[in-house]
Each structure stands twice: as C-alpha cells, then as structure tokens.
Amino acid sequence: MSNLLMSLILSGFLNEIMSCVLSSLQITDLLSVFYGQPTPLNQVQAPLREFLGRRVLNGAECTPDNVRSSVEDLVESMETEIADTVVSVQQTVKCQICPPPPTNQL
C-alpha cells in the first residue's frame, strides 16, 4: 500500500483513534507493549471508552443495539472514505505514470 493511500486513510477515524491511544502512552510504554508487557495498555482504557462513547456511539447509551447500529454506520462511512481514497490514489498514480504529452509552444 502506498504512503499516500495510508496517509489518506489515516486522516479519518483511524487517525482519531490512534491519536486517542498515543496521547495516553509514552514511548517507553509503547516499547513495553512491543516487548510483550501489556500493562501500559491499562491506562488507555478510560480515554478509549470516552472516545468510543463520543465518536462511535455519539453519546448514546452503550447497549448491544446501539453498538451494532453505530458500528454499522462507522463501517459504512469508512467504506466510502476508503473508496474515495482509492480513486484519489488511482488518479494520482495515473498522472505520474502517464503524464499528459508536452505542448509545443511556438
């Protein structure tokens, strides 16, 4: 996957959730998790709950029906976002591979 595609995808929901997680962790925490120590992830639970309640559930009560409906809406919005991103990347790549012919200026 190209860097452009990744940056465009990450500009939406995924970027928001990563920002939420990373704002609660320090580099030493990330290294601990990387080396198999999950304890630092405990400090991410509260911010993630708040984020998901606000961003996914839109403040609605956390019931199975609300979660299901909210996740369906989120997936649908991400499908559109990803499809738009793919089209944008395809157009960018096409322009880079087959640039328009030079014009002759007299």
What pLDDT does residue 100 have? 64
pLDDT for residue 46: 94
25-53 burial, b at 16+ Cβ within 10 Å, e below that, comes to: beeebeebeeeeeeebeeebeeeeeebbe
- Give per-residue pLDDT as tens, 5-34: 555 555 678 888 888 998 999 999 999 999
Q: Is the Cβ–Cβ distance between 89 and 2 less than 8 Å?
A: yes
Q: pTM of the full predicted structure? A: 0.59
Residue found under tokens 């944008």 = 88
Ramachandran category for residue 57: left, alpha or beta (phi over 0 → left; psi -120 to 50 → alpha): alpha
Angle between helices 13-23 and 64-97 (to 10 degrees): 110
Task: Return the higher-pLDDT residue of 11 and 92.
Answer: 92
